[in-house]
Amino acid sequence: MKTLDLFNFKDKKALIRVDFNVPLDADFKVTDTTRIEAAKPSIIKILEDGGAVVLMSHLGRPKGVEAKYSLEHILETISKIIGVTVKFATNCVGDEAEQAVSNLQNGEILLLENLRFHPEEEKGDLKFAEQLSKLGDIYVNDAFGTAHRAHASTAIIAQFFPESKCFGYLLANEINSIKRVLEDSQKPVTAVLGGAKVSSKIGIISNILDKVDHIIIGGGMTFTFIKALGGNIGNSLCEDDKLDLALSILDQAKAKNVKIHLPIDTIIADDFNNDAKTDVVDVYNIPDGWMGLDAGPKTNVGFSYIIAQSKTILWNGPLGVFEMPSFAKGTIELGNAIADATEDGAFSLVGGGDSVAAVKQFGFANKVSYVSTGGGAMLEMLEGKTLPGIAAIEA
């Protein structure tokens, strides 16, 4: 794999596409620094080699130039995390940016203003990419969160660095961890797919059927399967237009000898509300007017048993409405089981926005092997798609 290790950055300026699209509070303070910390190893390697770093990123979804999306808000946080005072250019292209880059000394870092202040970025404009390419000697892509986009800074730019482009350590780790689950995996491999909808996970299920031994299905998705199998699901979440699809997934899995595990019991509520009345019932017999919002106790024991037997585990999507404490138990017990299996030597990868939020909220982030930084990008890789940001470096 073409990583930073192929280059010595002494006297070189590295132009790094990072994903510093971090959450900010009302005072523009960064509330979660994970993405900045994740880019640190690449930045440090370049500085230690004796080079300089030019950082480019987007922040939010600005329509043209909007002060609230300025990357200047996060300058101080980056400086603190990296331990170097980071300089700032108020435009990411043009004379000002080029001048700031030419003044940059070895050991220094420059942050460019929000790429998306220019609509050309998301359009993948070639001229804009060429302007950006003037700002470094070596192009490094370390932005997994945007690797599934063919934007100017994430993919198009790479052609201007035919011999001097590479993956940063973060992006390389993301690619390697997905490979460890889907290609070079130790068996048995178990995928846990939860979350709200079958429709958003169907691409993953189709792609992994040839690669895994067990699929645990949980969360809101459960009830489309249970209804398709003839159960009464009350008011639970259901995609009625996906009932045939659910049955077809079960058939395909059987043909490929993949075991699909559905919940057997569920915690039901009489309202979508943390303080609703609750009960535990068989997942096939949910009374009218009630809805399943979490995995039940027997299900949790069964799922934990399967996880304990697994050598490779992929987790995407919570097992219940974990945002409400009354319905978080299934997700927490699964997290515990994955943490225990990891301690016993299994490789575990957690990805997808809500499962990452869950592992952080419940303190599992350091107890699993890898937590992905990219929601959409991770989903597309699991669906077997080629990501433009990765292909552009490999080309």
User: Which residue among 51, 62, 168, 292 contacts ligand AMP (CB under 6 A)?
Assistant: 292
Does position 168 bind ligand AMP by CB under 6 A? no
C-alpha–C-alpha distance, residues 184 and 175, integer Å: 12
C-alpha–C-alpha distance, residues 279 and 286, integer Å: 10
Q: Is the peptide bond before 162 cis (omega within 30 degrees of 0)?
A: no
Residue of 17, 35, 116, 227 marked catalytic: 35
The yes-or-no answer on residue 302 being catalytic is no
Q: Which residues of 111-123 are buried (b: 16+ CB within 10 A; e: fewer)?
A: bbbbbbbbebbbe
Q: Which part of the chain contacts ligand AMP (CB under 6 A), choosing from 37-45, 60-68, 226-234, 320-328?
A: 320-328
CB 280, CB 181: distance < 8 Å: no
Q: Count the Cβ atoms, other than its own, within 10 Å of residue 66.
A: 14
Q: Which part of the chain contacts ligand AMP (CB under 6 A), choosing from 158-166, 167-175, 251-259, 316-324?
A: 316-324
Position of minimal CB gap to ligand AMP = 195
Does position 136 bind ligand AMP by CB under 6 A? no
C-alpha–C-alpha distance, residues 130 and 188, integer Å: 47
User: Which residue among 77, 200, 207, 278 contacts ligand AMP (CB under 6 A)?
Assistant: 200
C-alpha–C-alpha distance, residues 34 and 52, integer Å: 23
CB of 321 to ligand AMP, least distance (A): 4
CB of 201 to ligand AMP, least distance (A): 7
**Nearer to ligand AMP among residue 352 and residue 388 (C-beta):** 352
Does position 293 bind ligand AMP by CB under 6 A? yes
Sign of the CA dihedral 157, 37, 324, 318? positive
User: Which residue among 197, 259, 360, 367 contacts ligand AMP (CB under 6 A)?
Assistant: 197
User: Which residue among 219, 231, 302, 335 contacts ligand AMP (CB under 6 A)?
Assistant: 219
CA nearest to 144, candidates 112, 177, 97: 177
The yes-or-no answer on residue 353 being catalytic is yes
H or E element that contains 279 = strand 278-282
The yes-or-no answer on residue 12 being catalytic is no
CA nearest to 225, candidates 191, 256, 201: 201
Does position 237 bind ligand AMP by CB under 6 A? yes
**Nearer to ligand AMP among residue 158 and residue 204 (C-beta):** 204
Does position 317 bind ligand AMP by CB under 6 A? yes
How many residues comprise the chain? Answer: 395
The yes-or-no answer on residue 35 being catalytic is yes
Rg (CA), the chain: 23
Does position 321 bind ligand AMP by CB under 6 A? yes
Q: Which part of the chain contacts ligand AMP (CB under 6 A), choosing from 95-103, 151-159, 317-325, 380-388?
A: 317-325
CA nearest to 111, candidates 16, 22, 21: 16
Q: Which part of the chain contacts ligand AMP (CB under 6 A), choosing from 57-65, 157-165, 184-192, 312-320?
A: 312-320
C-alpha–C-alpha distance, residues 353 and 344, integer Å: 26
Residue of 80, 353, 360, 384 marked catalytic: 353
3-class DSSP assignment, residue 117: helix
Does position 263 bind ligand AMP by CB under 6 A? no
**Nearer to ligand AMP among residue 189 and residue 198 (C-beta):** 198
Contact set for ligand AMP, span 340-369 (CB under 6 A) = 352, 354
CA nearest to 36, candidates 54, 52, 18: 18
Sign of the CA dihedral 162, 168, 171, 172? positive
Give the active site residues: 35, 197, 353, 376
Residues lying near ligand AMP in the complex (CB under 6 A) are found at 195-197, 200, 219-220, 237, 292-293, 317-318, 320-321, 323, 352, 354
